[in-house]
């Protein structure tokens, strides 16, 4: 039986953590071009990074060397749930060596 859907990777977005400050800065201008089934972030810096999805509120944290995987569609067969197209990601923290990587996968039907 052939698959009726497939996961396609999106283009990775990055942020140089040397540019971190105490104020939120936009990482993903305009968000991703498609709804995401899986959102993945990796913090290769030596400091924790605060994450916001509205540019104001502290909503997540990435520890140094930490990985965050949000598998939005696991165990959701038949439901249409996704990380919405265009949702932006903002970061703040202490300037440090390293990079924050944000990527994901979209479902193509």
The percent of the chain in helix, strand and coil, each rounded to the nearest 5, is 5, 40, 55
Query: Which SS3 state, helix, strand or coil, does residue 16 take?
Result: strand
H-helix or E-strand spanning residue 41: strand 38-43
CATH for 51: 2.60.120
Average pLDDT rounded to a whole number, residues 66-76: 82
Domain assignment present for 1: no
Q: Which domain holds residue 13?
A: 6-108
The number of C-alpha atoms within 13 Å of 20 and in the hemisphere containing its C-beta is 24
Quote the distance between the C-alpha of residue 107 and its chain's center: 16
Domain assignment present for 67: yes
Q: Which residue has the higher pLDDT, 19 or 70?
A: 19
Task: Please list the residues that pair with 26 across neighbouring strands.
Answer: 90
Tell me how many domains the chain contains.
1
Rg (CA), the chain: 15
Q: How many helices (H) and strands (E) does the chain have?
A: 0, 9
Degrees (nearest 5) of the Cα angle 56, 82, 26? 30
H-helix or E-strand spanning residue 50: strand 49-52
Average pLDDT rounded to a whole number, residues 20-49: 92
Domain assignment present for 13: yes
pTM: 0.86
Q: How confident is the model at residue 7 (pLDDT cuts 50, 70, 90)?
A: confident
Domain assignment present for 47: yes
């Amino acid at each position: 039986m052939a698959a009726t859907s497939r996961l396609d990777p999106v283009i990775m977005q990055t942020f140089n953590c040397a540019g971190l400050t105490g104020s939120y800065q936009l990482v993903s201008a305009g968000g991703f071009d498609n709804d995401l089934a899986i959102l993945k972030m990796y913090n290769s810096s030596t400091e924790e990074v605060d994450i916001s999805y509205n540019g104001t509120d502290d909503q997540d944290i990435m520890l140094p060397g930490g990985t965050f995987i949000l598998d939005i569609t696991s165990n959701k067969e038949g439901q249409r749930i996704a990380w919405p197209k265009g949702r932006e990601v903002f970061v703040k923290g202490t300037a440090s060596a390293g990079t924050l990587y944000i990527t994901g996968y979209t479902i193509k039907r």
